[in-house]
Structure 1
């Protein structure tokens, strides 16, 4: 039985959890597109992620662009059939693509083959694909190889996600342990007290790195992390941390006025963004009780972040 695609809201939520769209370049994905291009003998190969209104290239070979509009993307059609490779021998002869600007414009794309990147939840979040400017077809070995490269890419993405989850769990465990060791400071345990988790996420990290360089961007993010730490109340148990391969700053804030503390941090983030021309999206969630695990509160804040990013006003960020 052919696998059915997940409902779009669910699919987008799963993609967001990977924190891969707009991330910095990584050599392993560059190797994937190099292998795909050589294997399939095509001038263009991509690791493409299908985001809300665009497809974004985690890695590319043969194209200078970093992505395209989603409604023009061949990959947007490929993810509708998560379990199979989509192959278009001649886009000019295919009703779906004959009038596509990628076909009729300067790129003059004719051939496409893409294998979906499918998560354990069954979400097709993108593809490993190859393209050519002339009609053609893959042979059986090339189709098998492209499918294998898609599985390998998904293995890399899953390992990347597990590393982030592990680092985040370690951060939250340290926060919880610090309160267990110092209960006299623990607002979580006090009647009327509480805590909240806020996420401040940099947008278009890869785009900024392309303009300024990865080292410059990393220095700026380190500067922001120090500024946010300086805004925390000494002795409050509040914290701000980042994880690897992520553009998130995660704040855990304690006490009766977590909203006020969050506003203070937002003010710092807004000032930083204005100085450096960087956009942020922020979301938060308050704990239902002092005993609720921080990871659960983080996930609710993260759900809210996905909702905010999906609003029309967020598309201009």
Structure 2
């Protein structure tokens, strides 16, 4: 790539040999901003990018990932740490590909390396914040891929124990496509309006959840909690009230009153005139 075309590319554009030391044959001026080293220092070999700049703990994984992609004829996208000329440890993201001659022989690597330290800091802060949320929480991007899920979310809905991050929501929960859950999620994304509702997750979860979904242009943030116990209590109270109402309405002598927790009459049965000079309508 001509030097004049690389000057406006953010980050460090490079062409190097495919070896662990990453001997640089061309480095753009952006190397100063990323590594702190002048292009000439890397091109002459005064500083070895692979052996001096890349943090030692990340070197083997970087080599493995790059070689795997190159051998498959695919571009590579890798994130790792470097140590700059001023001894600062920075996070970088590299996008590159193998360069092959007419006979298909690998000549080297080329690509671009950008500083993503600030992005990594924000991602770490977000992960810590998500971990402190007492409710279950997960985030989906605009392709419906899980990008975050706290421990509580995985505990409640990752019933296959395969992890959620990186997977597609509709593939994990195939049944959700034609469900109320899917309908409310799609509506939230289309209208960009938050939504709150209760939903029963079928087997194998077999649980009720209170769900709060907040859409944005980049995806959907979902907070939810297991309310199965509360729903069961509500159903038991409804059954109990039906039993008592039946008893009240069929009580043969005197009056029976059913009151709520604030001592307000819910229903009155029997004949209150047998015990007081009032009617059931007046009591209720």
Q: Which has the higher helix share?
A: 1
Higher RCO (C-alpha 8 Å, min separation 6): 1
Per residue, is there more strand in 1 or in 2? 2
User: Normalising TM by the smaller chain, what interval?
Assistant: under 0.3
Question: What is the TM-score normalised by the length of structure 1?
Answer: 0.25
